[in-house]
Amino acid sequence: MFKGRHLIEPDGFTVAELEEIFRLADSIIDTPDTYSEKCKNKLLASLFYEPSTRTKFSFDAAMLRLGGQVIGFSDPNTSSAAKGETLKDTIITISNYVDIAVVRHPLEGTAKLMAKHSLVPIINAGDGGHQHPTQTLTDLLTIRYYKKTLNNHCIAVCGDLKFGRTIHSLVKAMSRYEGTKFIFVSPEELQIPSYIKEYLDPSCYEETNSLDDAIEKADVLYMSRVQRERFVSEYEYQRLKDYFILTHEKMKKAKDDMIVMHPLPRINEISDEIDTDKRAVYFQQAKFGMYVRMALILKLLGLE
C-alpha cells in the first residue's frame, strides 16, 4: 500500500514496490490520456525553498497532466519562511489545504522533518546535498524502459563521483538489482567515496580514470557534471577534462545498444554531436522523470 506514504529517500521503497510504480509508469506512457483526469479536484503544494526550475516544472507538469492543480512558491523570500515561521508550522498549515506536497530545501533532512508533521504525503524534491529520490526513480525507469529489465547491466558512471549525490543514489539503488556491475570512471581527485563502495561486493565494480577503457563494456553510460571549482587549478582541470568528456570518437567503441544518460543540465561533458546519436537518451530521460512522478503521485494519493 502506498496511500498516505512519503518519499524521502531513494530506498524508501522496496524493489517490489518500485516495480509497481514502474508498471504504472509504463501504462501512463502507453495511454497517457486515460490518466488525464485521475487527479481531478486534487491539489499539490509545490514548496521550493531554493530555485530549481527543472525539478519544479517536472512535478508541476506531472500533476497538471493528471488533471490536478498546483499551488506553491519557488522563492523562499516570498514565503512564510521569510516571516520567521518554523517549517513545522508551515507544513502543518499547508497540509490542511492540499492533498500532497513536494518539498525542495537547501538544508539536509528538511523533507524528513516536514514528513513528520504533515497531514498529507511529502515528496522530497531535494534536501541540499542529501537526497533527491525522484531523480533516482527517473534514472531507474529510463534504464528499465530501454533495457527492458533492471537486472544484469554493466553501468559505467563517469564524472564527479565524489560529490555527485545523483550518482551515489543511483549506485545504491542499482546495487539492489541482480547482476549489476559498475565501472567508476573519474579522475583520482573525484573518486567514488568509500562509504558508497561499502554497499557493494568488491567483485561488482572496477575503477578507472579512462572513459575509453570503460565504454566498450558498458550497457549504460551515466555521465555527470564535473565542475571546474572542484579542481585546484585551471591547469589540472584542462589536463583531466578530456578523460571524461564524451565525444563522437569515444562513442565508436560503445555497444550498439548502450544508452547514454545524464541528469542534466550538462556543462560540456557530452558534446552536442552526440545528441543525434540514437543511444543518447538524456533528453528522453527528462520525460521519463515526468512520467515516474505522475505514477508516484497517483500511488501516494491512493488513486491507482
Partner 1 sequence: MINVSKIKKGIVIDHIEANCGYKIFSQLGLDKLDDVVVLMRNVPSRKMGIKDLIKIETDIELDFTILGLIDPNVTINYVEDGILKKKEQLTLPKMIEGILECKNPVCITKHQKIDDIKFYLVNEKTKEYRCEYCDTKTSL
Contacts with partner 1, residue ranges (CB under 8 A): 86-88, 105-110, 112-113, 127-130
Closest distance to partner 1 from the beta carbon of 130 (Å): 6
Residue 114 or residue 297: which is nearer to partner 1 going by CB? 114
Closest distance to partner 1 from the beta carbon of 218 (Å): 30
Closest distance to partner 1 from the beta carbon of 222 (Å): 23
Q: Say if residues 277 and 215 touch (Cβ distance below 8 Å).
A: no
Give the distance, in angstroms, between the CA of residue 55 and the centroid of all CA atoms in the same chain: 9
C-alpha cell at 72: 506553491
d(CA 142, CA 174): 12
Closest distance to partner 1 from the beta carbon of 107 (Å): 5
Among 105, 120, 103, 222, smallest CA distance to 166 is for 222
Residue showing cell 509504463: 26
Residue 86 or residue 227: which is nearer to partner 1 going by CB? 86
Give the other-Cβ count within 10 Å of 157's Cβ. 28
Give the distance, in angstroms, between the CA of residue 302 and the centroid of all CA atoms in the same chain: 23
Residue 112 or residue 241: which is nearer to partner 1 going by CB? 112
Q: Please give the positions annotated as active site.
A: 54-55, 83, 104, 132
Residue 67 or residue 128: which is nearer to partner 1 going by CB? 128
DSSP assignment, residue 131? -
